[in-house]
Structure 1
């Protein structure tokens, strides 16, 4: 059996860390538990990361960056309503494809695993999404509410549906996603 490549080992560490956090929470994570789950020695983790904190931070940034890229791809939609709907659907597609990554990002975000400098370095992500929502306000698609309020009104129901389904071990049904979006749309649309 061939030895795994450095990239394969890095992927195993990533997956093991994400599952550990999703199943046990940030506080229960240890290099030893991650190594055991990844089927490597604890020392191997230190070939890829400086510390447990470094591992948490880098994996968080990787997932957050991937998720952000998926969400902002919706800005290419021809109209704001289609853009918002696509952002909503893409959120669920990501959660369906990577349920533990979604939960990891939630837990790591709540635990504030990033340094202040790292948090500043990804500030553009929030700004890009805010700009997309502002565009929809400016063109009369979304109600003229503060962007922070619109964000909560759009994201909170989506996160709740995704979290509930994940914890129940089931996928969110397309009909449930669509119905919820239509109900949320009533509250956020300008019309």
Structure 2
């Protein structure tokens, strides 16, 4: 199910990036980044994802997570904070993807502790435990945020769907809940992937 969801989301984001004429170059880049994220999440549950290089993926999605708040830097203070808050779900999703690709490298480092002397092994294992606690905390915060945002996005358009007084407004009203549905579905799918990751 997550693979089907993320594959459909990738097709939608790619279509918006390539077909929509009203988008500026920043929005096109945003959609292309969402396409890359959705494709990475679609293949992540499968064994073929293990053959992909993890470090470049992690660096790519970490840079993508930083790009969203940085692209609002040229605005006034108040509008910049508002724009950054509106775009916060996107860097959260990118950061979650970066964390998941980074976590796939974890098992490859375990044999390292076996070949170390006992005192170094204890330091290595305590360092790994500290990293795993910090990683679990970050994962928990991201999962809770994305869960709240996903549920909010899915219910956000429901009153609009129930009460559309003007038939001429149906096309514009239906467009927003459609976008909310995809935003919410992507967020909830990311939460599921965070919870089932190795």
Q: Normalising to structure 2: TM-score of the pair?
A: 0.27
Q: Which has the higher helix share?
A: 2
In our comparison, the structure showing a higher alpha carbon Rg is 2
Ranked by relative contact order (alpha carbons within 8 Å, sequence separation 6 or more), the top structure is: 2
Q: Normalising to structure 1: TM-score of the pair?
A: 0.28
